Amino acid sequence: MQIRPTEIPGVMLVLVSTNSDERGLFARTYDSAVFAAAGLPTQWPQCNTSWNARRGTLRGLHFQAAPRPDPKIVRCTRGRIFDAVVDLRPESPTFCRWTAAELSETNRSALAIPGGCAHGFLTLEDDCEVFYMMGEVYVPELARGARWNDPAFAIAWPAEPVTMSDRDANWPNFQA
């Protein structure tokens, strides 16, 4: 397992190594000592799965407000997604900047996302499943979002969304 920093402080790409033989493969996807050495959380009180039927499904941009911002590890366990993260931490040198990675069942990579960052993804093929390890439990009254196409972020999505919830379609532009 390798953990590589991205251009946004605290957002890390988690790369896994596989061992293959005639049975298939094995890969370690989480190791608390490796995560701790990289400065990542090691406690994950909640895990979630999102299944998405169609290519072009957009979920996000979501985040949980203080006092319980939600760090997360996001992995695509079926299909392929474009996973985007926006830094919403006012004190950060990369405030309002974004980074992204393609996550797939084939590359088995994950993104580690610190609290204070918004997250969203676009499915790149039908039948995608996304697994989240959450560093904080979901608190509905702290749930927030920002527009996926907010000009303040200018995320270079690889395609126009085809499907999204009314809530995600109607998040306001981000107010710093």
User: Which residues are catalytically annotated?
Assistant: 62, 132
- The two tokens of residue 79 are 């299909």
The identity of residue 166, as a single letter, is: D
d(CA 163, CA 155): 18
d(CA 105, CA 155): 23
Tokens 């290519």, located at residue: 55
Max alpha carbon distance in the chain (Å)?
54
Calculate the dihedral angle through the C-alpha atoms of 122, 82, 77, 14, rounding to the nearest 10 degrees: -150
Q: Are 83 and 119 in contact (CB under 8 A)?
A: yes
Separation between Cα atoms, residue 45 and residue 125, nearest integer Å: 30
